[in-house]
Structure 1
Amino acid sequence: MSGSENHITPNRMKPVEGKRVMGKHVIAGAGQVGSQVARLLAEQGHEVVLVSRSGSGPDLPGVGKVAADAADRERMTSLTRGADALYNCVNPPYHRWAQDWPPMAQSLLGAAEAAGAGYVVLGNLYVYAAPERPMREDDPLTPPSAKGAVRLRVWQEALAAHEAGRVRVTEVRGSDYFGPGCLDQSHLGERLVPQMLGGKPVRVIGDPDQPHSWTYVPDVARALVTAAADDRSWGRAWHVPTTEPMTTRQIADRLCALAGVRNPGVKAMPHWMIRAAGLFSPMLGELEELRYQFVRPFVLDSSDFQRTFGVTPTPMDEALSATIAWWRDRLASAA
Structure 2
Amino acid sequence: MSTHVVVGAGPVGSATALLLAQAGEHVRVVSRRGRAPRHPGVEAVAADAAVPGELDRHTAGAAVLYNCANPSAYQHWAAQWPPLAAAVLAAAERHGAVLATVSNLYGYGRATGPLTEDTPLAPAGAKGRLRADMWLAAESAHRTGRLRAVEVRSADHFGPRVTESAAGKMLVPRVLAGRPGVVLGRTDRPHSYTYVLDTARALVRLAAEESAWGRPWHVPSHPPLTQREFAGRLCAVAGARRPRLIAVGRGVRRVAGLRNPRIREFEEVAHQVEGAFVMDSSACTQRFGLLPTPLDEALHATAAWWRATPTPDPDPLVRLEART
TM-score by length of 1: 0.90
Distance 1:258 1:307 in 2: 29
Q: Report what 1:108 is aligned to.
A: 88
> What secondary structure, in the 3-state scheme, does the structure 1 residue paired with 2:53 have?
helix
Distance 2:200 2:258 in 1: 34
Correspondence 1:156 to 2:136:
yes
Is the 8 Å Cα contact of residues 213 and 243 (structure 1) preserved in structure 2? yes
Q: Report what 2:167 is aligned to.
A: 188
Give the residue type in structure 2 aligned to 1:97.
Answer: W
Q: Report what 2:319 is aligned to.
A: none
Give the residue type in structure 2 aligned to 1:193.
Answer: V
Report 1:163-174 matches (<5 A): 163-174=143-154
Give the residue type in structure 1 aligned to 2:56.
Answer: T
Correspondence 1:36 to 2:32:
no
Q: Report what 2:321 is aligned to.
A: none
Deviation at 1:72, TM superposition (A): 2.6
- Range moving further from structure 2, 193-202 or 235-244: 193-202
Q: Report what 1:285 is aligned to.
A: 264
> What secondary structure, in the 3-state scheme, does the structure 1 residue paired with 2:17 have?
helix
Q: Report what 2:299 is aligned to.
A: 320
Which among 156, 163, 166 is matched to residue 176 of structure 1? Answer: 156
The Cα RMSD (Å) is 1.5
- Range moving further from structure 2, 165-174 or 256-265: 256-265
Distance 1:189 1:106 in 2: 29
Give the residue type in structure 2 aligned to 1:263.
Answer: R
Which among 58, 62, 72 is matched to residue 83 of structure 1? Answer: 62
Which among 232, 248, 262 is matched to residue 269 of structure 1? Answer: 248
TM-score by length of 2: 0.93
> What secondary structure, in the 3-state scheme, does the structure 2 residue paired with 1:84 have?
strand
**5+ residue gaps, structure 1:** 1-21
> What secondary structure, in the 3-state scheme, does the structure 2 residue paired with 1:141 have?
coil
Deviation at 1:194, TM superposition (A): 1.1
% identical aligned pairs: 49
> What secondary structure, in the 3-state scheme, does the structure 1 residue paired with 2:65 have?
strand
Give the residue type in structure 2 aligned to 1:51.
Answer: V
Distance 1:25 1:88 in 2: 11
Runs of 4+ in 1 over 6 A off after TM superposition: none
**5+ residue gaps, structure 2:** 314-324
- Range moving further from structure 2, 258-267 or 133-142: 258-267
Q: Report what 2:45 is aligned to.
A: 66
Give the residue type in structure 2 aligned to 1:196.
Answer: V
Distance 2:93 2:86 in 1: 11
Q: Report what 1:309 is aligned to.
A: 288
Give the residue type in structure 1 aligned to 2:102.
Answer: L
Give the residue type in structure 1 aligned to 2:176.
Answer: L
Give the residue type in structure 2 aligned to 1:289.
Answer: E
Q: Deviations over 1:285-326 (max 9, x none)?
A: 211111111111100011111111111001111110110111
Is the 8 Å Cα contact of residues 73 and 108 (structure 1) preserved in structure 2? no
Give the residue type in structure 2 aligned to 1:76.
Answer: L
> What secondary structure, in the 3-state scheme, does the structure 2 residue paired with 1:56 have?
coil
Distance 2:89 2:191 in 1: 32
Distance 2:65 2:307 in 1: 34
Give the residue type in structure 2 aligned to 1:180.
Answer: P
Q: Report what 1:241 is aligned to.
A: 220
